[in-house]
Structure 1
Amino acid sequence: MTAAAVDAVFPPIVPGRVHRWGGARLIVARARELRQVPPLSPAERRVVRGLRAWRQAEWTAGRLLAKRLVGEVVSAPADGVEILPRNDGSPRVVVGGSPMPALYVSISHTAGHVAAALAPEPVGVDLCEIDSADAVRRVADHFLSPEELSLVGRERPDAVTGAWALKEAAVKADRSGIFGAAPRGIPILGLRPPLLGGRRRAMVWRADDAALALVLAHPGG
């Protein structure tokens, strides 16, 4: 991968629209523009009541986007779609009270943006505000190998935050965690275009002032 490739910015993505990539559906929205409250089931309301006040708004916004995506592929009334947490906290789709194992969903939040992705295979989506680059640099040695650090570099904020978003989206698809050994087991082989090790497909966009990563992982990958 050349230095020029790293220097290229990630392609822009338009907030508020449903995009398709690699069989997945993806939507990112500006948090300030999401004022609608989705219909919540009794189980979802119980989850919300257990959250801190500041977390309730972003949790609800993420479900609003995820339910919009589910509604595009499943014939069900809006109040019949639930996005409920598994025991590990990752979201799952339930329609009419029945789990939908063939639909995978992922949700991400920052202070400024919310994103959701839906796919027929394990999927992870992550947002990282580009002005968080300094914070990401401070922990870069924990989630990037020396080879990856050399590839990504530390100078460009969009490259650094894009690498973080890629790793976070990948461990979400694997249902593991960003801290610990898991991120090191998913090598970044390229950044522009994104290329990950294993049977994974990845993409990174720029959504306003945030890096947005999507990772699809084959169930046996």
Structure 2
Amino acid sequence: MTTEDHDRRQDRPAPLVAVASAEAVLRRPEVSEHLLTDLERQRAARFRTETGRVDFTAGHLLVRLCAARLLGVPADGLALAQQCPDCGRADHGKPFLPDHPDVHVSLSHTRGVVAAAAGFEPVGVDVELAARGRSLGEVAQRVLAPAELALVRAAPEPDRAFLRLWVRKESLIKIGRTSMDTLAAVDLSDLPLAVPADGPLRSRHQDLHFVDWTDPAHGAAVAAVSTAEPQVVELTAGA
């Protein structure tokens, strides 16, 4: 990185990451389903359950709130799009803001809980409910490095330890640092597994900043990663 690049990065605001219940997002007065594009509405309508539709909608609105806070603009002026790098289709793939190509965005949703992030640096976020965490066994062996697997097996609560590593690795996929096929080649065993109950855990792995926390209101494990340290923000207070 050149001195000029470093100075430019220093002038930029930190990436923002937020997590909230889907219901809290939908109660925000400045966002509603009318902000979704026609394609987003079509995708939401395909869900077979109302909870799936609500979670999808809330995630796509929360990422607009994050980007709006980052840019200092109203959320209703932001369009969100996606495109698959493999097939080129626009109904899945990495999300982006067509009118703000310098902003990176990420979103995730699980049953009743959504997470989103926005930044001028690549940023990824993932959220999973602890009750729905993937169990050990063949899955862990496929996606964990040997040192990670040993840590998980030795943990007092192996399933929760695995869930923590899983959300971290999912967030890495979203910034393009790995893929579902190469998860086991990424070794995050140097990062602590225990996350404080009273706030986020901040740690470093190579050039990456990780922020982990367990959201007490939703019982969800959340992880965000970026080349700049993400800032956790509350975007639904008072809703």
> Which aligned pairs between 1:5-154 and structure 2 lie closer than 5 A?
23-36=14-27, 37-40=32-35, 44-51=37-44, 52-53=46-47, 54=49, 55-88=52-85, 89-94=93-98, 98=99, 100-133=100-133, 135-138=134-137, 139-153=139-153
Aligned length: 188
Determine if contact 1:194/1:204 at 8 Å carries over to the other structure: yes
Match of 2:187 in 1: 187
State the distance in 1 between where 2:127 and 2:102 align. 24
Match of 2:223 among 197, 213, 217: 213
SS at 1:136's partner residue? coil
State the distance in 1 between where 2:168 and 2:62 align. 21
- Relative to 1, partners in 2 of residues 1:102 and 1:160: Cα closer, same or farther, differing over 3 Å? same
Identity over aligned pairs, percent = 28
SS at 1:191's partner residue? coil
Determine if contact 1:48/1:59 at 8 Å carries over to the other structure: no
- Relative to 1, partners in 2 of residues 1:195 and 1:184: Cα closer, same or farther, differing over 3 Å? farther
CA deviation vs aligned residue, 1:137-190 (integer Å, no higher than 9, x gap): 23111110111111233541332211110111111111753x212x12322021
Match of 1:201 in 2: 209
- Relative to 1, partners in 2 of residues 1:146 and 1:78: Cα closer, same or farther, differing over 3 Å? closer
Structure 2 regions of 5+ residues with no counterpart? 1-12, 86-92, 194-200, 229-239
CA deviation vs aligned residue, 1:12-65 (integer Å, no higher than 9, x gap): xxxxxxxxxx92211111123333424325xx2223314523443222211211
- Relative to 1, partners in 2 of residues 1:143 and 1:195: Cα closer, same or farther, differing over 3 Å? farther
Which residue identity lines up with residue 174 of structure 1 in the other structure?
A: G
Q: Normalized against structure 1, the TM-score is what?
A: 0.74
State the distance in 1 between where 2:84 and 2:127 align. 23
State the distance in 2 between where 1:49 and 1:175 align. 30
Match of 2:232 in 1: none
- Relative to 1, partners in 2 of residues 1:141 and 1:84: Cα closer, same or farther, differing over 3 Å? same
State the distance in 1 between where 2:56 and 2:191 align. 32
Match of 1:167 in 2: 169
Structure 1 residue 84 displacement after superposition: 0.8
Which residue identity lines up with residue 29 of structure 1 in the other structure?
A: A
Which residue identity lines up with residue 171 of structure 1 in the other structure?
A: I
Which structure shows the bigger proportion of residues in strand conformation? 1
Determine if contact 1:187/1:197 at 8 Å carries over to the other structure: no
Q: Normalized against structure 2, the TM-score is what?
A: 0.69
Structure 1 regions of 5+ residues with no counterpart? 1-21
CA deviation vs aligned residue, 1:101-130 (integer Å, no higher than 9, x gap): 221111010003100011111111001211
- Relative to 1, partners in 2 of residues 1:73 and 1:32: Cα closer, same or farther, differing over 3 Å? closer
State the distance in 1 between where 2:175 and 2:227 align. 6
CA deviation vs aligned residue, 1:194-214 (integer Å, no higher than 9, x gap): 656542111210012111000
